[in-house]
């Protein structure tokens, strides 16, 4: 797991700024995760979310897709998702509420058969 700065090492005057920015995005992703077995969080112009969606479409796996901006727009808002999940890139793919990684990670799970196991569970 990634290290996270402990709250006792954050000055009280700025504590309210940690985690309070763009929580609407995090809430939206959380709601999608609660309502769908598979959620793909992506961004425009990035080929990897498309790659993941194509794989899911080909396998007939239903999913929710949330898209937040492009390389030049809303990057600050997307940072809230990166900080929340700890995942540094898009897409962020969730299966049954668990972050499984990005497009290449999804491909590996599909090839190994583990994706079917996760979806059945």
Question: DSSP states of 84-116 as a string?
Answer: HH---SS-EEEETTEEEESHHHHHHHHHHTHHH
What is the pLDDT at residue 85?
A: 94
**What's the domain range around 43?**
11-120
Q: Does residue 5 lie within any of the structural domains?
A: no
* CB 39 within 8 Å of CB 64: yes
**The pLDDT of residue 20 is above 90:** no
Q: Does residue 6 lie within any of the structural domains?
A: no
| Over residues 90-95, mean pLDDT | 98
| Over residues 64-83, mean pLDDT | 92
CATH number at residue 59: 3.40.30.10
DSSP secondary-structure letter at 9?
G
**The pLDDT of residue 118 is above 80:** yes
Report how far residue 64's alpha carbon sits from residue 45's, in angstroms, rounded to the nearest whole number. 18
| Over residues 93-108, mean pLDDT | 98
Q: Does residue 51 lie within any of the structural domains?
A: yes
Q: Does residue 4 lie within any of the structural domains?
A: no
In the chain, the number of structural domains is: 1
What is the pLDDT at residue 31?
A: 98
Q: Does residue 73 lie within any of the structural domains?
A: yes
Global pTM reads 0.91
**The pLDDT of residue 61 is above 90:** yes
Q: Does residue 2 lie within any of the structural domains?
A: no
**The pLDDT of residue 60 is above 80:** yes
What is the pLDDT at residue 1?
A: 75
Tell me what the pLDDT averaged over the chain comes to. Answer: 94
Q: Does residue 3 lie within any of the structural domains?
A: no
Q: Does residue 63 lie within any of the structural domains?
A: yes
């Amino acid at each position: 797991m990634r290290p996270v700065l402990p709250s006792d090492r954050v000055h009280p005057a700025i504590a309210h700024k940690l985690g309070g920015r763009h929580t609407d995005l995090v809430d939206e992703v959380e709601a999608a995760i609660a309502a769908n077995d598979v959620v793909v969080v992506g961004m425009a112009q990035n080929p990897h979310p498309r790659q993941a969606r194509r794989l899911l479409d080909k396998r007939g796996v239903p999913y929710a897709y949330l898209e937040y901006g492009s390389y030049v727009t809303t990057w600050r808002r997307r940072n809230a998702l990166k900080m929340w999940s700890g995942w540094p890139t898009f897409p962020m793919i969730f299966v049954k509420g668990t972050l499984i990684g990005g497009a290449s990670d999804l491909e590996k799970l599909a090839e190994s058969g583990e994706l079917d196991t996760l979806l059945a569970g």
